[in-house]
Structure 1
């Protein structure tokens, strides 16, 4: 498979390493130093593009790929206020798009577990639920996209929670997301249920970026040749 990497930071390099192991070809690598090469002609060499940049660039990067009729997988977080605009753009262009707050197979299974446990806990209001996420100090957004996905799943299932806040709260309708930044932590996400008599938690800990990179490649291979908007649930059959 031929892949265009839009963003050549730590994630881009991790994707490149796994792609080479799999026999895939990176035909384009775009970073801040070679934006002049980010053209439709260069994109059209690829079967799919994988975008990992920053919240300020993601929307325009996605549009460039759609303009070139190249399926695009996006792993950048922090831009989702613009998701309705991107969905409209995809419909106009008859394009192909897959976004995930986290591409790790393990994390997506964790999402499914989170939904199931929240359904079980929804009728037990003596348990107070919260989310904690820990990442490396270079992560640009807080809370993480993964933590927001987990929180939104909880709000959907636990009707006493109406919104999330990225801080401690004494408002019972608000769901706490506590963000911590520690050197060299790829990502830890914990869902905590605390009651006066006991405590339940589920946790996902990433050891490195290989899970994210491998999942992004899996997603790119899944959407190549397809049309529409997809998620990792489609990729994994969840």
Structure 2
């Protein structure tokens, strides 16, 4: 498969290494200093583009990819206010795969989080709070992964109706503590606390390899498909 990389930082390098090891070809690498390559023949001939950049430039990268008729697998978070535009583009023949986190372990964690929330809805003595820790280069907060976790909880827990970063204003809110520290790949914890005990589930990423492998597998899944795709399409147990 011919893969274009949009964003060639640490994640881009990790994705390149894994893609090559799985027999794929990197035909184009686009970073902030070679934006004109969106119009290159090499980019237009890519089977799929894998995009890991920043929230401020992501939507423009998607538009340029669609203009070149190149499917996109995106791991950038913090741009979801533009999601209706992307879904409309997919209705008009384009292809887009989005995940707030490509790690297989994190997606298992998502399923565990939903299952636990269903149980804990029956036990109002337990309050809920979350914490996420990432490296200092991550611009959006809370993370996309944290938002997926908290929104899944809100679908199951009737005594909560919203989330807030930092100190809550109401007992109906779920507090999220977002920490930026050193080069931490990503730690996410969900805690239920009562007067007598606490229950905490945590996913602690050791490095970027799990995210990169998941992105490449998503690109392999996306190849030849049309429309808006998610991890639930690729991993049926998440539904």
Unaligned 5+ segments in structure 1 are: none
TM norm structure 1: 0.97
Measure, in 2, the Cα distance between the counterparts of 1:170 and 1:47: 48
1:138-187: CA deviation from partner (whole Å, max 9, x where unpaired) = 11111111001101001111112111111121511111110111102100
1:26-80: CA deviation from partner (whole Å, max 9, x where unpaired) = 1000001111111163322211111111111111111221222221101100000
Measure, in 2, the Cα distance between the counterparts of 1:129 and 1:41: 51
Structure 2 equivalent of residue 190 of structure 1: 189
Unaligned 5+ segments in structure 2 are: none
SS at match of 1:56: helix
Structure 2 equivalent of residue 14 of structure 1: 14
Structure 2 equivalent of residue 64 of structure 1: 64
Structure 2 equivalent of residue 178 of structure 1: 177
**8 A contact 1:50–1:74 mirrored in 2:** yes
Structure 1 equivalent of residue 121 of structure 2: 122
- Does 2:53 match 1:53? yes
**8 A contact 1:108–1:233 mirrored in 2:** no
**8 A contact 2:121–2:157 mirrored in 1:** yes
Structure 1 equivalent of residue 226 of structure 2: 227
**How many matched pairs?**
237
**8 A contact 1:66–1:90 mirrored in 2:** no
Q: How does 1:17-166 map to 2 (within 5 A)?
A: 17-39=17-39, 41-92=41-92, 94-166=93-165
SS at match of 2:234: helix
TM norm structure 2: 0.96
